[in-house]
Structure 1
Amino acid sequence: MTTTVTHTEQRDSPYALTHLDALESEAVHIFREVAGEFERPVILFSGGKDSIVMLHLALKAFAPAPVPFALLHVDTGHNFPEVLDLRDRTVARHGLRLHVAKVQDYIDDGRLRERPDGLRNPLQTVPLTEAIASLRFDAVFGGGRRDEEKARAKERVFSLRDEFSQWDPRRQRPELWQLYNGRHAAGEHVRVFPLSNWTELDVWQYIAREGIELPEIYFAHEREVFNRNGMWLTAGEWGGPKPGEPVQTRLVRYRTVGDMSCTGAVDSAATTLDSVITEIAASRLTERGATRADDKMSEAAMEDRKREGYF
């Protein structure tokens, strides 16, 4: 006698994975694949929500053993203090190794020049690529997701970079059946994106499910901001506000966190995880599309930077 299992019965099975379970399982598999294929992987860790989720997944992947990778942060010098504070507390709590490459050091010794517009996010490429080369990292985990931006949507999970850390979309490799090819020549490395198939909503739902701590600026709070090109920016030493850009106190939160000079806040009353999730579910703009000035410099701004070595 043949027994037919319906889709409804499969979905209601106590052994069926939720979509978050499936995403978590995929990310854990990716971390373990890299640990098996590469000699010196590193996790890019800024203290932002995506890198925090990525580290949480790495901790799960190797528990009860420690994470076998170091962390790397490219510090622009214009980071939000709340984010750096959580970064340092997280590193101390888990006994991790953190390498910090500082954009300011490169400006001070003349290897980089300050931009007239004050943006430092585009200046991260050189410190990042030199840190990868000098510390001989052969796999670099990034928190990029395909839903964020069209150039990131072109990335494979394993993204090959040449000896100059440059990205060529034509060298992307097929990844059928979750088979990942980490082969690379001497001097090359692979960028790895465990969150590729996640959405912003997935990230927040996972944070809620796992009880992951975040910097408080991801939740609504009163903040002094000014308007520039339609974005609410935080005043700071980076060069804002200019004359004619009055400072206001508004109830805002951040959907994404980067350099203060290019990361805009959004008007929001969402003070809890549930209210943030509800807000994101109703949004029709990606987090980078709504709040990142560095992605608006040109239609291909992100892709141009990725070709040069940006993450």
Structure 2
Amino acid sequence: MTTVANTGAKDSPYALTHLDALESEAVHIFREVAGEFERPVLLFSGGKDSIVMLHLALKAFAPAPVPFSLLHVDTGHNFPEVLAYRDRTVAEHSLRLHVAKVQDYIDDGRLRERPDGTRNPLQTVPLTEAIQRERFDAVFGGGRRDEEKARAKERVFSLRDEFSQWDPRRQRPELWALYNGRHAPGEHVRVFPLSNWTELDVWQYIAREEIALPEIYFAHERQVFNRSGMWLTPGEWGGPKTGETVQTRLVRYRTVGDMSCTGAVDSDATTLGAVIAEIAASRLTERGATRADDKMSEAAMEDRKREGYF
């Protein structure tokens, strides 16, 4: 009797690479949501994680158009390079973009400017009201479990109540990648297709797929000033203050958000290969290294998630 040796999946021509497996999982999640929910929406800021999410969504439904719109909560303190990228991408793919502006809420008194000038915590109300107003029942976010310990608690499908609040005790099991999207009227589900990705996975996928990014992610000379050990960009948001000296440095951004709380890192990485090498050698998460809003307290992110933030 002839026997065939089992060489294992590693030698199989049908075995998926690590990035292929992550891509396949994300594509499955997008299609699952499109088939199960009536009004999904994808949060798109022009940051690298939302860019990868949109790339995966385009793949998931090609050659058909993406069957949902995009939503961006604009703090009014976003980096101009990122907003320009956002608008180019929306036009290129003929997508529909909803923009909820924090400035509108400040102007009519629904929100009040913070003393420290940061608007990142102010995004919660515009986000939750946009979800309720447009009746979105599934909201795709680019959160990853490796970013921050509160995000590590998330399931892929994260149920939010009628006030968009998150309760970790209501998290549902997701054994065998089976996702439960059931929700009562008024509730919705936050969906995280990149949950199992790391920052390095994201950059390696960007390199493999040759995805264009805003130039802010690569080393460039920029005027910055130091506040609490972080290099922040000057702007109308309130920096620099007296005693904070502006200087020109070679920097890049690992993550992008509100200019008032997103720091640059010293870097000479001007290419994808150099960025990947830099990330592989880093021992700090991108949020831990460059997001001042996560340093307000040990539970800063979890507190905001309970209120309705991502």
Q: What is the identity percentage for the equivalent residue pairs of Structure 1 and Structure 2?
A: 91
1:188-241 Cα distance to aligned partner (Å, 9 max, x none): 000000000000000000000000010000000000000000000000000000
User: SS state of the match for residue 7, structure 1?
Assistant: coil
> 2: CA distance between counterparts of 1:129 and 1:304?
15
1:173/1:9 Cα in 2 relative to 1: closer, same or farther (>3 Å)?
closer
RMSD: 1.1
When the two structures are superposed, what TM-score results if normalisation uses the length of structure 1?
A: 0.98
> 2: CA distance between counterparts of 1:137 and 1:64?
24
Runs of 4+ in 1 over 3 A off after TM superposition: 3-9
1:4 deviates by: 7.4
User: SS state of the match for residue 8, structure 2?
Assistant: helix
1:6 deviates by: 7.0
1:8 deviates by: 5.6
> 2: CA distance between counterparts of 1:284 and 1:257?
19
> 2: CA distance between counterparts of 1:177 and 1:41?
23
1:30/1:6 Cα in 2 relative to 1: closer, same or farther (>3 Å)?
farther
1:70 deviates by: 0.4
1:5-62 Cα distance to aligned partner (Å, 9 max, x none): 7786521322110000000000000000001110000000000000000000000000
> 1: CA distance between counterparts of 2:201 and 2:18?
9
Could you tell me which residue of structure 2 aligns to residue 213 of structure 1? 212
> 1: CA distance between counterparts of 2:53 and 2:227?
32
1:18/1:119 Cα in 2 relative to 1: closer, same or farther (>3 Å)?
same
1:52-79 Cα distance to aligned partner (Å, 9 max, x none): 0000000000000000010000000000
Q: For this pair of structures, how many residues does the alignment match?
A: 309
Could you tell me which residue of structure 2 aligns to residue 263 of structure 1? 262
1:4/1:175 Cα in 2 relative to 1: closer, same or farther (>3 Å)?
farther
> 2: CA distance between counterparts of 1:4 and 1:34?
44
> 2: CA distance between counterparts of 1:287 and 1:7?
42
Structure 2 unmatched ranges of 5 or more: none
User: SS state of the match for residue 8, structure 1?
Assistant: coil
> 2: CA distance between counterparts of 1:114 and 1:12?
58
1:215/1:10 Cα in 2 relative to 1: closer, same or farther (>3 Å)?
same
1:154/1:4 Cα in 2 relative to 1: closer, same or farther (>3 Å)?
farther
User: SS state of the match for residue 244, structure 2?
Assistant: coil
User: SS state of the match for residue 107, structure 1?
Assistant: helix
